Amino acid sequence: MMSSNRQDPIPSVDATNMASQLQVIRQRLDQSGTFQMPVLETGLYPAASVAGSEREYTNYQLVWVRDNIHIAHQMLVIGNDAAAASTVEALCRFFAKYRHRLQPSSDNQLEIDRPHVRFDGKTLSELDSDTPSGAGWNHKQNDALGYYVWLFAKLVASGKLRPTSGQLEILALLIHFFSRIEYWQDEDSGHWEEWPKIEASSIGVVVAALQAVQEISEIPGVQETLCNHGIDHRFLEKLIQPGTAALHEILPNECIQDNGKQRDVDSALLFLIYPLEIVEGDMADEILSRVTSQLQGAIGIARYKHDSFWSPGYKQQFDEKDRTDAVSADDKRSHLQVRRGTEAQWCIFDSIISCIHAQRFKASGDPQDLALQLRYLNRSLQQLTSLDSPFGAYKCPEAYYIEDLDTGVWVANDSTPLLWSQANLRLALHFAEITAKQLPSS
């Protein structure tokens, strides 16, 4: 059960008068500030709206590359092109500032030597705690870098971003970086910033990124600059091939390595279906089936089986400094025995599944896809905090967790509202509004 008092729940959406239902919901959420996102002067976004609160211990006032790309992609889809481009350009400035991390002279083997994927978004500066003299962070996250390359290329392809030679040079350095680390067999910490392994969700993002660069590689201006850095369509194709081969071998699993690293289902694989759109057909169906049958809970969806992050009694077991700190080899969380079904249920996945079925319904008109689109949209809406929430009403949590195993009450965790959750819900509503226009009854 949830602790929230659902006195004023968001009404469910069905296919009858769908457009008018969505209008009422959007009005309520807009009035409640559900989709308000604090943007920094640099054009970047903190992970969560925790600045100035007692929840700053989470460090979610910092900027994550991955989160910012998902937020910027949402901006692009809903038509806020300038905001999307501003975010990508700010990330490019950060990568340019620390370009030595992309250069061939750097071996990039240690996590701290990789391009940093979490930093101070106000000053575009790496964190002192993330230097060799500090505590460090799991910066071996190929997916985060891949997401940046992917959206950069998408913006260029759509004419929303006219790249400078300097921006294209950073793009080229990142592409060569993927080649140098042999991304298809590189153990990275991936979406969940945990113990490194070879994972399909990271490989898939890089493959999608390289394919997106292929689409712009012959645009005048882009072609010349990339060629000057040794990158052409043939080079990209050769770099993509081992990635697609690795995906063919690993999927629908996340990881097939031994030594305790094997993982047969991970919700991060959903992003390969949408927004990256590089997995489709039977493989997409199998990933969806595994996630919804093995990880879906009554409220949200777990990241993976036995996930210890925000597991039951989390705040009782860990001090503030340990709750969201970097994961290490001797991390206390790695030794937790988390019972299936008690993992934190996240709020970034149901909305993505709704988007996936929205795309399918648009293409096929299959009533089953419409039903699933609405089912997961409604689940996403019910994840919003309610009237008595300490975070305020109608906010988008990162996840719900069991505060106390004795009571079994699920509550929103401290990273509320999470901007990535906001972005995904906004996308799901956007596609629902498009779907409503397809329906005769609307």
Instruction: Give the pLDDT of residue 133.
Output: 42
Instruction: Give the pLDDT of residue 138.
Output: 85
Say which range, 103-117, 282-296, 302-316, 391-405, has the weakest mean pLDDT: 103-117
Q: Which two tokens stand for residue 168?
A: 């294209």
SS3 call for 2: strand
pLDDT at 106 over 60: no
- Give CA 105 to chain center in angstroms: 30
Q: What percent of the chain stands above pLDDT 70?
A: 92
pLDDT at 135 over 60: no
User: What is the pLDDT confidence band of residue 13, given thresholds at 50, 70 and 90?
Assistant: very high
Rounded CA-CA distance 351/78 in Å is: 15
User: In this structure, how many other beta carbons lie within 10 angstroms of the beta carbon of residue 345?
Assistant: 26
pLDDT at 104 over 70: no
CA atoms within 13 Å, Cβ hemisphere of 327:
18
Is residue 418 a contact partner of residue 48, using CB atoms and an 8 Å limit? yes
Q: What is the mean pLDDT of residues 44-71?
A: 94
Task: Dump pLDDT digits (tens) for 154-190.
Answer: 999 999 999 999 999 999 999 999 999 999 999 999 9
pLDDT at 115 over 90: yes
Rounded CA-CA distance 272/248 in Å is: 13
pLDDT at 8 over 70: no
Instruction: Give the pLDDT of residue 111.
Output: 67
User: What is the pLDDT confidence band of residue 317, given thresholds at 50, 70 and 90?
Assistant: confident
- Nearest-CA neighbor of 314 among 336, 292, 296, 330? 336
Is residue 360 a contact partner of residue 285, using CB atoms and an 8 Å limit? no
Q: What is the mean pLDDT of residues 401-410?
A: 90
pLDDT at 442 over 50: no
Task: Dump pLDDT digits (tens) for 198-235.
Answer: 999 999 999 999 999 999 999 999 999 999 999 999 99
The 10 Å CB-count burial string (b at 16+, else e) for 105-143 is ebebeebbebbbbbbbbeebebbeebeeeeebbbbbbbb
The angle that helices 350-364 and 281-294 make with each other, rounded to 10 degrees, is 140
44 residue type, one letter: L
- Nearest-CA neighbor of 263 among 328, 192, 208, 316? 192
Q: Which two tokens stand for residue 175?
A: 């592409």
pLDDT at 366 over 90: yes
Is residue 139 a contact partner of residue 115, using CB atoms and an 8 Å limit? yes
pLDDT at 134 over 80: no
User: In this structure, how many other beta carbons lie within 10 angstroms of the beta carbon of residue 318?
Assistant: 17
Burial class (CB in 10 A: 0-12, 13-18, 19+), 58: buried
Q: What is the mean pLDDT of residues 101-113?
A: 69
- Per the prediction, the chain carries an average pLDDT of 92
- Give CA 299 to chain center in angstroms: 19
Instruction: Give the pLDDT of residue 315.
Output: 87
Q: Which two tokens stand for residue 420?
A: 């990535």
